[in-house]
């Protein structure tokens, strides 16, 4: 029987190689009363290139919307929309690397949002890790932290876009074998850090034969991402970088599919920032949407008898993430203890993390 890290590594490698067509089927926070009145807000680019902006702001009568390509320099000269305190509007703008939208309420502080998806055809699960509201009314800033899967297929145009977006630090959470099989392509000027979450050199063989065994393997692997010393070290490195980066540019963390090791990284980060569990779960499960076409193509390469066995490996499910949180409770007694005792983060580290990433 394989160890859990090797099971997950084998599953990750299988996903990557099947997409390439080369694998055989036999194989809790203190309260802070911020001034942002928005309780929900999203920006979603539509198929025709326009943006659907949706927000909820109880007690607000009017919201004025401004747009800009630099999150920190959105000129409040010409609004792109005006609407009521809770509504959806459609905005059409010229093509750009990324548009940010500043929602300015008639009272309270403004909020800047963007489409979470970067729409990279060569990396379908590449998205912003921010844009979520915390339990105390603050918001995780967008354009600061990104998450992704495999970067080995990035096109020259995508790499240029990522360079213009300022990605400076890249944390590769994969095993050495995965890195060698699919080396990262990095935007110019970015620094890469290898943080092997699973702590194994290779991917081993995949030996589960039933859907139930595959689900169990994924749950066990999620627990490993909490308990393994290599995982603690890797996730500590990511959070330390985010807390201490200052003006050091944006951070990206990734694995092969961008859903398991990367999914736990985002769950840890968002929970540490005070994002509620149901929002953390929604962000985690979004990988199923971003990877839907890839997963369907992967399954289509397999004989019908194999598809139910491999499907749990390609997906994320609530029970997977819950297994990680259950392991936190079992090993540490609570999430704060996990951050302090498991990942070695001090109270000062967490304060700096929030100062860096939260808008209020």
Catalytically active residues, by annotation: 255
CA count, 13 A, side-chain hemisphere, 127: 24
Beta strands 62-68 and 81-84 are: antiparallel
Instruction: Count CB neighbours of 108 within 10 A.
Output: 15
Query: Which two structure tokens, joined as six digits, stand for 96?
Result: 């750009």
With contact defined as beta carbons under 8 Å apart, do 165 and 250 qualify?
yes
Query: Which two structure tokens, joined as six digits, stand for 98?
Result: 């990324």
Instruction: Tell me how far apart the alpha carbons of residues 192 and 177 are, in angstroms, rounded to a whole number.
Output: 16
C-alpha separations of 210 from 36, 216, 222, 307, 313 in Å: 49, 10, 19, 10, 11
Query: Which two structure tokens, joined as six digits, stand for 118?
Result: 């970067």
Q: Is the dihedral of CA 336, 338, 341, 346 positive or negative?
A: negative
| Helix, strand, coil in percent for the chain, rounding step 5 | 40, 20, 40
Q: Is the dihedral of CA 277, 343, 327, 259 positive or negative?
A: positive
CA count, 13 A, side-chain hemisphere, 36: 26
């Amino acid at each position: 029987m394989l160890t859990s890290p090797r099971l997950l590594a084998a599953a990750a490698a299988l996903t990557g190689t099947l997409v390439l067509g080369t694998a055989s089927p036999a194989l809790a926070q203190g309260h802070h009363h911020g001034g942002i009145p928005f309780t929900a807000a999203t920006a979603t680019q539509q198929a025709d290139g326009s943006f659907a902006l949706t927000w909820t702001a109880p007690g607000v009568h009017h919201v004025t919307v401004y747009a800009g390509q630099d999150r920190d320099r959105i000129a409040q000269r010409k609004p792109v929309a005006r609407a009521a305190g809770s509504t959806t509007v459609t905005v059409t703008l010229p093509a750009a690397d990324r548009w940010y939208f500043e929602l300015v309420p008639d009272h309270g502080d403004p909020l800047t949002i963007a489409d979470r998806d970067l729409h990279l055809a060569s990396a379908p699960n590449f998205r912003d890790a921010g844009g979520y509201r915390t339990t105390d009314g603050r918001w995780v800033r967008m354009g600061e932290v990104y998450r992704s899967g495999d970067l080995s297929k990035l096109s020259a145009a995508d790499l240029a876009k990522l360079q213009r977006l300022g990605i400076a630090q890249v944390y590769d959470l994969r095993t050495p074998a995965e890195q060698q099989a699919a080396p990262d392509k990095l935007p110019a000027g970015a620094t890469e850090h290898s943080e092997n979450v699973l702590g194994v050199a290779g991917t081993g063989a995949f030996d589960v034969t039933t859907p139930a065994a595959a689900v169990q393997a994924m749950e066990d692997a999620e627990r490993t991402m909490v308990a393994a010393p290599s995982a603690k070290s890797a996730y500590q490195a990511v959070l330390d970088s985010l807390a201490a980066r200052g003006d050091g540019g944006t951070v990206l963390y990734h694995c092969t599919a961008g859903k398991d090791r990367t999914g736990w990284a985002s769950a840890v980060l968002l929970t540490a920032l005070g994002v509620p569990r149901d929002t953390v779960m929604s962000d985690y499960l979004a990988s199923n949407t971003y990877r839907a076409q890839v997963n369907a193509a992967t399954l289509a390469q397999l004989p019908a008898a194999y598809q139910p066995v491999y499907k749990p490996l390609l997906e994320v499910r609530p029970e997977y993430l819950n297994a990680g949180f259950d392991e936190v409770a079992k090993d540490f007694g609570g999430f704060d203890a996990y951050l302090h005792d498991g990942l070695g983060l001090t109270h000062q580290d967490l304060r700096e993390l929030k100062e860096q990433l939260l808008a209020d």
